[in-house]
Amino acid sequence: MSDTIIFTDLDETLLERVTFAFEPAHETLVRLRERGTPVVFCTSKTRTETEHFRQATGNSHPFIVENGGGIYLPKGYFNETPPDAQETGSYLRIAMGEEYGRILDGMKCLKSKTQNSILGFNDLSPEEVAADTGLSVELARFAKMREFDEPFKFIRREAEFCSQIQDWTNEIRLQLTQGGRYYHLHGEFDKGQAVRRLIRMYRKRFGRIETIGLGDSPNDLQMLLQVDHPVAVAHADGSHDTRLCTALPRLLKIADSGPRGWARGILQLVG
């Protein structure tokens, strides 16, 4: 067991924006696996989507889905079973926030407030999600299998409503975060709370650990605030998210984007 734990976003961090490929990071992932260094996916993706990329990358560690809404622990990974964990298949599932039905009720309210100017994944067919995201239809089906969080976008009048939508979200006691592609409506949780919970579990099991976090967008901020070494990969144009840069004075900014930047960040920190 390594004394370093890596928490990472997927979209536009470990995965390419358009192709969702991770090949530039493949050798680094292999080296980390050989060293026994856990790589914990912390993503806006669903459980089923994340399982797809865990299998593709040979990952066997816990993972965090839907912007912190749920933590999945492989059974037997930790010595103790958290009291709020529920068995589901080969995992223990910890629900950190509101379930999906409550989120869809909130979406109805926001649609009314914005005069039907927003569109969520629940409104779209798998084929429409695939066309909008660049995912395959199979992965788009996985992306619609949501538990805690609804991605949505403005289809018109964003400039008119974006300054008000946070207040409306607060009124219905839900939260709003902004990712690289979509806004996300969810309950009173974020990536940071889930990461903090997992860090406690790792420390209880293994003692002293160092933590690294890698991301690229505002919805990664709370995750990056929890780790010892926050890293931001660049956007495709070479820039870095200004909100991350402002909030994280110790932020390591990598000039490359996507998995190439991811691998370079890991190389700088752990070799």
Catalytic residue among 9, 216, 220, 241: 9
CA distance 67 to 249: 23
CA distance 228 to 241: 19
CA distance 199 to 210: 10
CA distance 209 to 4: 6
Asked if 247 and 241 touch (Cβ cutoff 8 Å), the reply is no
Look up tokens 């406690």; give the residue. 200
CA distance 181 to 152: 9
- Residue 90 has phi, psi (to 5 degrees) of -90, 15
For helices 158-171 and 100-113, the axis angle rounded to 10 degrees is 130
The secondary structure of 42-60 as a DSSP string is: E-SS-HHHHHHHHHHHT--
Indicate if 132 belongs to the active site. no
Look up tokens 């009720």; give the residue. 105
Residues belonging to the chain:
271
Closest to 154 in 3D by CA, of 179, 119, 180, 185: 119
CA distance 267 to 41: 18
- Number of CB atoms found within 10 A of residue 230's CB: 26
CA distance 175 to 167: 10
Please list the active-site residues.
Answer: 9
